[in-house]
């Protein structure tokens, strides 16, 4: 069932591009009061109230939440969308990049959720939508930091869901597959600087080539944004939405049906490593 004609106060992170931008636009057009976070100056979404927020800066996160509460008195929906992409062999990816991946894609979400929860508890309800990934359900080669952050989102969301259900707060996880979001250009790639004899060079290049092709041929992010608007308006949303091509949804099921070694072999063949 859907709630009709109920306008909500929505906070969504990372609205300068991709999923965040499309979601913020559609939700604002639907009449909701939408606050969107960015790290740099951004003026494209005229119907969205823009907040400067850096997910690696706890004070910045706290200020953003308090600004919304001071103006609106409530936050009905929190959409944790923002994150970063990094790729590279575990052996050679700089630890500072691994930390940044976790700080941005996981800890930033944790801090924002913690600052929002007291207000949702006080109003006796709310919805938290956390963006994970297909890569949060299976480890992807040369994306260890990215997958680790998304796996963390999964465990965090499962635990949080049980803690806050008594307060009528719903926790939803989104697992997108390949979409044309600009992630290909934004990804930070790291390869050991040891020249042509680098033992990771060939498999890394092959895997990244497959991933970039899939992303560039992926779905329009508008399709996912339309789904998010339906989830926001739903009285009883599901706990998880896997949104992607048939083969991506099938891969998730196969992971739990097939022997681990066989499923790994399938992934290695798919990514040509």
Q: Which residues are catalytic?
A: 16, 132, 146, 150
Q: Which residues, 6+ apart, have CB-to-CB distance to 28 below 8 Å?
A: 34, 45, 47, 48
- Distance (Å, rounded) from C-alpha 58 to C-alpha 178? 30
Token pair 């600009």 in the structure block, residue: 182
Q: β-strand 77-80 against 33-38: which pairing, if any?
A: unpaired
Q: Where are the alpha helices (DSSP H) in the chain?
A: 18-29, 58-72, 95-102, 108-122, 144-164, 183-186, 201-216, 221-232, 246-257, 260-270
Contact 92, 145 (CB under 8 A): no
Q: Pull the structure tokens for residue 88.
A: 């590279």
Contact 44, 34 (CB under 8 A): no
Contact 182, 249 (CB under 8 A): no
């Amino acid at each position: 069932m859907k709630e009709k004609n109920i306008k909500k106060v929505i906070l969504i992170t990372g609205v300068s591009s991709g999923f965040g931008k499309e979601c913020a636009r559609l939700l604002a057009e639907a009449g909701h009061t939408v606050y969107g976070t960015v790290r740099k100056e951004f003026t494209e979404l005229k119907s969205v109230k823009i907040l400067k927020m850096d997910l690696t800066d706890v004070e910045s996160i706290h200020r953003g939440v308090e600004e919304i509460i001071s103006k609106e008195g409530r936050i009905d929906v929190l959409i944790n969308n923002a994150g970063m992409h990094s790729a590279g062999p575990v052996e050679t990816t700089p630890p500072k990049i691994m930390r940044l991946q976790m700080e941005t894609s996981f800890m930033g979400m944790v801090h924002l959720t913690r600052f929002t929860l007291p207000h949702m508890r006080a109003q006796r309800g709310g919805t938290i939508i956390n963006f994970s990934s297909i890569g949060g359900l299976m480890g992807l080669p040369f994306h260890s930091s990215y997958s680790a952050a998304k796996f963390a989102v999964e465990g965090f969301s499962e635990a949080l869901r049980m803690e806050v259900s008594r307060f009528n707060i719903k926790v939803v996880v989104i697992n997108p597959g390949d979409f044309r979001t600009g992630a290909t250009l934004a990804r930070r790639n790291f390869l050991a600087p040891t020249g042509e004899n680098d033992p990771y060079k060939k498999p890394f290049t092959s895997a990244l080539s497959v991933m970039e092709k899939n992303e560039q041929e992926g779905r329009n992010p508008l399709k996912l944004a339309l789904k998010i608007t339906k989830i926001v308006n739903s009285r009883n949303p599901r706990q998880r939405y896997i949104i992607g091509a048939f083969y991506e949804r099938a891969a998730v099921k196969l992971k739990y049906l097939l022997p681990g070694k066989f499923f790994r072999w399938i992934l290695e063949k798919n990514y040509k490593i």
